[in-house]
Amino acid sequence: MAKPETEQLIVKPSAENLASAAKSAGKKGPPPVHLWNPPFCGDLDMEIRRDGTWFYLGTPIGRYPLVKLFSSIIRKDGDAYFLVTPVEKVGIRVADAPFVAVDANASGSGRDQSITFTTNVEDEVTAGTDHPIRVTRDPKTGEPSPYVLIRRNLEALIDRKTFYRLIELGAHHEVAGISWFGLWSGGEFFPVIPSADLT
């Protein structure tokens, strides 16, 4: 007996289906996830931990090419994160930022300095107007959490070892009448901490 035309086959979202769709969509360069508007298909039991490790069904995803593939189709709408393909959009959990900046290289000095970051999934960006650095501080401990914008509204948490290396390149500069210690890159100054808090 044939199914009525109005009845639709509902396929539960899976990592396998997403990976297959992402692979097809990304054959000609980075997938244009910002242009896709597929239906929301529910949440997937997938999480990106603060250290950048991806988990699926409570288990770390051990295959790096798969992690890299998923990282190419992540999108942030409001405060929520999704994996998006041309045909489906599924929600995932992100503990902090979707990427981690695991290395940085600086060239030049002072105002002419450029800092290029590399993420755990091999994105490379040079901090500047289009890729700003921002630092939040824990109100209780004062512990800094530094981020750099990677693409659209997706950031990378700058890991501790990289951040401490960058601090050695820092300088003091006045912003809105207040002296800040921060970083120059791409002709922009990015405040890290008020100079007065360093004394």
Distance from C-alpha of 179 to C-alpha of 195, rounded to nearest angstrom: 6
Inform me whether the pLDDT recorded for 199 exceeds 80. Answer: no
What token pair was written down for 153?
């509204």
What are 166-191's pLDDT values in tens digits?
Answer: 999 999 999 999 999 999 999 999 99
Inform me whether the pLDDT recorded for 8 exceeds 50. Answer: no
* Average pLDDT over every residue of 19-26: 68
pLDDT of residue 25: 61
| Backbone φ, ψ for residue 22 (5° rounding) | -65, -40
What are 46-55's pLDDT values in tens digits?
Answer: 999 999 999 9
Residue among 173, 130, 178, 177 at smallest CA distance from 155: 130
pLDDT of residue 173: 96
